[in-house]
Chain A
Amino acid sequence: MKKTLLKACVLGLMVTGWISTGSLFAQSDPSGKKRVTSTYAIINATVITAPGKAGTKATVLIKDGVIAGVGSNLSLPMEAQVVPGDSLFIYPGFIAGASEAGITRPDDPERPKDFNPTDPADVFAGVTPWRSALDQYSAESSQVEDFRKAGFTIAQILPDGGMLAGKAAIVLLGSEYSTNVLKTNSALAANFSGARGVYPGTAVGVMAKFRDVYQNTKLTKQRADQFQTVSGSTRPEQTSTYSAMMDVINSEVPVMFEASNDLEVRRAISLQKELGFKLILTGLDDYSAVIDVLKEANVPVLISLEVPDDKAIKAQKEDAKESVKEEYARVKEAYEGALKQASLLEEAGIAFGFSVVNTKAGDVKKTLASLIENGLSEEAALAALTTNPASILGINRIAGSIEKGKLANLVITTDSLFSEDSQVKHVVVDGYVYDYETKAKKKKNSSDGDKVEVAGNWDYTSESPAGKSGGVLEISQDGSDFTGSITYDDPSGNGTAKSDIKNVTVDGSNLSFDFDVAAGGMSLTVTVSGEVDGSSFEGNMNVGQFGTFPFSATLNPTLIANK
């Protein structure tokens, strides 16, 4: 499935993606896709210009990708297309401090015949600081679309790779007519992953190798300086690694270290203290033990926009033995502690942003709600989505708030951002307006009486870059438990495959379930979730890192009749 999907993605890009040549002059457009104007006025909306600012009724005028004005009595130019904003809320566009959306890991180069795993060339050791995330990035990826839909307008994209994966870049999640690049070399992406079976194979080797590369870059610079100034000096040997590391040792570009837990945070900081580079920490999941360390080191921080799942908490049983209850209590304490961490950062005065690496775009709203429920202020949450990452990435002059002269990046919602019913109606990126369908407010279920019927056989269709496919979803009910299976086109070739469905939950009219698909020796979990309305089901199918795709199904009436 993975390979098929990937191929399909690439193919899709080639067919649909035509990139503008950047001509300044208008042309005809037989595709009919071109917009009529680049000037928009969103009028009479509640505008929150920056975190902590009260919402005021105002109009936002944007022109050629820039905010041309914010205010209550702006004079609108003739070419302005008016977007009615009554009842809408406008926020600065979100900024993902670190993201892998749209990134595809490059194929490993073929190993030479006489390959020596104990002393591999840098490229096999995961040392590829010369690589650029831009070379691995596709703006057409459905993941990019998913994050835009969640309100993200700018992302720092990290290359996929080993310990020194390469140069991060900052991009707009913008139109297909632009390259969308804001910065080509914003950070050096680093992590503690070893190069499996090859030196350095583990985190301890990675740390040693990091020191070695760093020190030799410094020596290379010293030799180069000497070569320039002292006649008779030998020409220094430049390698692509040392060349690419040069602006890191000059502190022009920070090292962006992925550090998921407190011990990795300490390791990254100890390397930084030892060697003296500029450091940004990213991907923090478990960091409550190092909040004072982060504060003291004064290192910019991007935490994972994720919270631990609550399966373990839900599985705790009331009638457990006392000793088991004590263990439950510790898990619960750990769980609550994990949710509270972000608020502790706020308390400590650490201005953090978010990394969306490993984040499902569809979960962003829920995750934010959970952080706020556990003590993070709405102001700090908004800052972590806007002004903080703008500062951390060094783009606060052009992004992060709604101000005249900044990039026209906006999130426009149906209600105040963090309220339960708020939905994203428009996202403006670089002056381009993206419209999203919103649904009428859900009726609150007053009782269990209007639980929907899901048992039976459903015919479903789904759409993915690989094309349209479909099959039969069978659900049976036993009390409040649901089980079943699903058929689908076998990703490994011809015919149909079948998997059991798991974690089936019916909550009001919402139905969700998972199933595993085996493809190419690996197993992929697919999550389907959506709304049941009578005998029809509309929802989405999430296929891990490949993105989210529409999924609809109809309950087969004859089988129900047979029951």
Chain B
Amino acid sequence: MKKLKYFLAAFLGLSFSFASAQTPKGSVLIKNATVLTVTNGTLENSDVLVEDGIIKKIGQDISAPSGVETVDATGKFLMPGIIDAHSHVALDVVNEATAPIVAEVRMRDMVNPYEIGLYRALAGGVTISHAMHGSANVVGGQNVTLKHRYGSSNPADIIMQDAPRTIKFALGENPTRVHGRGKGVQPRTRMGVEAILRNGFSEALQYKKAWEDYNSASSQKGSTAEAPEYDERLQTLVDILDGKIIIHCHSYRADEIYMLINVARDFGISKLVFQHTNEGFKVAPEIAEYTMGASVFADWWAYKFEVYYSTAYNAAILTKNGAITSINSDSAELIRHLYHEAAKTQRYGGMTDEEALSMITMNPARQLGISDIVGSIEEGKQADLVIFEGHPLSVYAIPQQTYVDGVKYFDIEEDKDDQRLKVSPTDMVEPIFLSEEDHRCLQGVELNFSDISETLFNTNY
């Protein structure tokens, strides 16, 4: 029996293989900055002391312990490292698009630490990104939260090991197009999407019961109970039902958002974040009441039909209705200026500085389940920090230095231009990417119908 339990534990324990990685931690004293703490207001002319990757002290006239470097940030702004709740950076595979539920696949298996996008994100002040499975399936794979410790060849070094598990769901056009229209299997409609979800969770409950029954029976002497089939797909859904995984659901229309809220309530699921959520504003009271909020674009709309009735005031409406709201990128370009994307909420809805900054720091941290360790400048938190020239919500702001765990990974003054970690020995002329691959939600999905495939490649988020 003990052995069996261990056996099951091995099934369930999904993250131990990478757990032993030791990542670099730094110490630094940043002096005389305007500190935008996000949670405790703005501190003028203040110092932040970091030791061994942790914010030790915030105040004035702090002197550096011996051996700790001092950075003069007079006239500059210091803010928490920016967190992107929706990206596909540093993933070798984004979509396992072959079945309506692929809960068993893990993006952490596909992390590629060489991707230049990590450095470019650092240059935009982004220290953490939520690298997500694509949106081809109703239940996609498990995502991975990355800390941008660029420079290592080991994927484990850029995985944020202390972040909880999250999983991708997707509603609406993408899963119905890929499955119903592309493969001739359910779902082809938003009705089918709901059915896939309810079927999946109901089967998961049966699965859970089968194992529970087996485990209690097999502890009896001479038990003839037969071990059920193992199914990591259903086991992952069980973990969602047990509250071990946060759902991040690609969604656009109000009706489908409302549908998932109902399904989640029926199955007792409360860890639910909506992604994109362009029509979230229409059901903002429901999102605020029943979920962990929405992660939205600042102003994207009209690139597909389900986002035609959008508004750039979405984030403001959601916030004013009390929903946790973050601004994300889902794009290799947008991730470079999330501070600017957040600032757009000031034009579209008059958000305050703190509200706007929260949307790229504390709020995404809450939605990723990491707000106790990152997301604001507070003593005891991990020292992910960005120094800006100019207020980060100014359109003219330029990130100067980016720190992860107190280690500097970007410095506008010192860094060389070519930041590739790996170069192909056979590249004659480097490929040129003209607005290519910055949106990867449906990357790698084979689309077997030609009439609309061309436009699909243009707009696949």
Asked if chains A and B come from one complex, the reply is: yes
CB contact between B226 and one of A118, A205, A231, A234 (< 8 Å): that residue: A234
CA distance A343 to B448 in the complex (A): 47
A-B contact sample (13 more), CB < 8 A, given A205-B96, A208-B102, A308-B426: A116-B185, A118-B185, A197-B446, A199-B99, A200-B96, A204-B96, A204-B109, A211-B104, A211-B232, A212-B104, A223-B227, A231-B224, A270-B17
A-B contact pairs, 20 of them (CB 8 A): A196-B446, A197-B98, A199-B98, A199-B102, A200-B98, A201-B446, A202-B96, A203-B110, A207-B109, A208-B104, A211-B232, A212-B104, A212-B232, A215-B232, A219-B229, A230-B223, A233-B226, A266-B155, A293-B154, A309-B426
Tell me the complex Cα distance, A198–B229, Å. Answer: 22
Number of residues of chain A lying within 8 A (CB) of chain B: 55
- Of the candidates B18, B141, B226, the one having the most CB atoms from chain A within 10 angstroms of its own CB is B226
How far is the CB of A1 from the nearest CB of chain B, in Å? 26
Q: B185: which A residues are within 8 A, CB to CB?
A: 116-118
Rounded to whole Å, the gap between the CB of A372 and the closest CB of chain B is 18
At the interface, yes or no: B444 with Cβ under 8 Å from chain A? yes
Within 8 A of B (CB), among A170-228: 196-205, 207-208, 211-212, 215-216, 218-219, 222-223, 226
B 79-105 contacts with A by CB, 8 A: 92-93, 95-100, 102, 104-105
Q: Which B108-148 residues have C-beta < 8 A from chain A?
A: 109-110, 112, 141
> Top 7 closest A-B pairs, CB basis?
A118-B99, A335-B425, A199-B98, A289-B153, A205-B96, A334-B425, A201-B98
Chain A residues, Cβ within 8 Å of B107 = 204
- Chain A CB within 8 A of B67 CB: no
Q: Is A481's beta carbon under 8 Å from chain B?
A: no
Closest to A289 in B: B153
Please give, as numbers and ranges, the residues of chain B lying within 8 Å of A308 by CB-CB distance: 425-426
Question: Interface digits, B418-432 against A, CB 8 Å rule (1 contact, 0 not)?
Answer: 101011111110100
B153 surroundings in chain A (CB, below 8 A):
262, 289-290
User: Nearest chain-A residue to B446 (Cβ)?
Assistant: A197
Q: For residue A118, which residues in chain B have a CB less than 8 angstroms away from its CB? A: 98-100, 179, 183, 185
Query: Residue of B at shortest CB range from A203?
Result: B93
* List of A residues within 8 angstroms of B424 by Cβ: 331, 334
Query: Using a CB-CB cutoff of 8 Å, which residues 205-224 of chain B contact chain A?
Result: 222-224
Report the minimal beta-carbon distance from A189 to chain B, rounded to whole angstroms: 20
Least CB distance from B172 to A in Å reads 19
Distance in Å from the Cβ of A68 to the closest Cβ of chain B? 47
A117-164 contacts to B, CB under 8 A, are 117-119
By a CB distance below 8 angstroms, the chain B residues around A270 are 17-18, 109
Least CB separation from A309: chain B residue: B426
B420 / chain A contacts, CB cutoff of 8 Å: 330
Q: How far is the CA of A232 from the CA of B423 in the complex (A)?
A: 62
Contact count A vs B, C-beta below 8 Å: 132
CB pair B229–A331 under 8 Å, yes or no, is no
Look across to chain B and name the residue whose beta carbon is closest to the beta carbon of A231: B224
Is the pair B418, A326 in contact by a Cβ cutoff of 8 Å? yes
Q: Whose C-beta in chain B lies nearest to the C-beta of A263?
A: B112
Tell me, rounded to whole Å, the shortest Cβ–Cβ distance linking A207 to chain B. 5
Q: Is B11 an interface residue (CB 8 A)?
A: yes
Contacts of A312 in B (CB 8 A): 425-428
User: Which B residues are CB-close (under 8 A) to A215?
Assistant: 11, 230, 232
Structural contact, A331 and B423, CB atoms closer than 8 A: yes
Distance of A338 Cα from B93 Cα, bound (Å): 25
- Kindly identify which residue among A197, A327, A335 contacts B430, using a CB–CB cutoff of 8 Å: A327
A39 CB to nearest chain B CB (Å) = 49
- Residues 97-133 of A, flagged 1 when their CB comes within 8 A of B and 0 if not, give 0000000000000000000111100000000000000
Q: Is B231 an interface residue (CB 8 A)?
A: yes
A263 engages B92 (CB within 8 Å)? yes
A333: Cβ under 8 A from any B Cβ: yes
Tell me the chain A residues, 310-362 only, with Cβ under 8 Å from chain B. 311-312, 315, 326-327, 330-331, 333-335, 337-338
**Contact B155–A263 (Cβ < 8 Å):** yes
B contact residues around A34 at 8 Å (CB): none
Task: Report chain B residues within 8 Å CB of A212.
Answer: 104, 230-232
Whether A330 touches B423, Cβ cut-off 8 Å, given contacts A199-B99, A203-B93, A263-B155, is yes
Contact B425 A331 (CB under 8 A): yes
A315 near B96: Cβ-Cβ < 8 Å:
no
A236 at the interface (CB under 8 A from B): yes
Alpha-carbon distance between A212 and B183 when the two chains are bound, in angstroms: 24
- Give chain B residues whose Cβ lies under 8 Å from the Cβ of A196: 446
Given contacts A212-B231, A315-B428, A335-B425, contact A204 B141 (CB under 8 A): yes
Of residues 223 to 245 in B, which have CB atoms within 8 Å of A's CB atoms? Answer: 223-224, 226-227, 229-232
Name which residue of chain A comes closest to B186, CB basis: A118
Task: Check A267–B109 contact: CB distance below 8 A.
Answer: yes
Nearest CB on A from B103, distance (A) = 9
The answer to whether B93 touches A204 (Cβ under 8 A) is yes
Bound form: Cα–Cα A200–B233 in Å? 13
B106 touches A (CB below 8 Å):
yes
Residue among B92, B179, B425 with the highest chain A CB neighbour number at 10 A: B425
Within 8 A of A (CB), among B27-84: none
The residue of chain B having its C-beta at the shortest distance from the C-beta of A290 within the complex is: B153
With both beta carbons as reference points, the residue of chain A lying nearest to B11 in the complex is identified as A215
Nearest B residue to A337 via CB reads: B425
- Knowing A205-B102, A230-B222, A289-B153, the reply to whether A219 touches B425 (Cβ < 8 A) is no
Q: Is A273 an interface residue when CB atoms closer than 8 A count as contact?
A: yes
> Which residues on the A side are within 8 Å of B102 (C-beta)?
199, 205, 208
- A478 close to chain B: CB less than 8 A: no
With the chains together, A81 CA to B229 CA distance in Å?
A: 63
In the complex, the answer to whether A207 meets B105 with C-beta atoms within 8 Å is yes
- Give the Cβ gap from A554 to chain B, nearest Cβ, in Å: 36
Q: Are B227 and A222 in contact (CB under 8 A)?
A: yes
CB of B224 within 8 A of CB of A202, answer: no
Inside 8 A of B448's CB, which chain A residues have their CB? 197
A333 to B: closest C-beta gap in Å: 7
Q: CB distance A201 to B106 under 8 Å?
A: no
Give the docked Cα–Cα distance between A146 and B254 (Å). 66
Of chain B, the residue at the smallest CB distance from A338 is: B425
Contact A230 B93 (CB under 8 A): no
Interface 1/0 per residue, A263-307 and B, CB below 8 Å = 100110010011000000000000001100100000000000000
| Cβ distance A208 to chain B, nearest Cβ, rounded Å | 4
Nearest-neighbor residue (CB-CB) of B221 within chain A: A230
* Residue of chain A at shortest CB distance from B13: A274
In the bound complex, residues from chain A placing their C-beta under 8 Å from that of B155 are: 263, 266
Residues of B within 8 A of A309 (CB): 426
A204 to B99, CA, bound (A): 13
Contacts of B231 in A (CB 8 A): 212
Contacts of B426 in A (CB 8 A): 308-309, 311-312, 335
Given A204-B110, A204-B141, A311-B428: A273 touches B17 (CB 8 Å cut-off): yes
Give A218-268 interface residues, CB cut-off 8 Å to B: 218-219, 222-223, 226, 230-234, 236, 262-263, 266-267
- Of the listed residues B98, B105, B418, B427, the one surrounded by the most CB atoms of chain A closer than 10 A to its CB is B98
Chain A residues, Cβ within 8 Å of B105: 204-205, 207-208
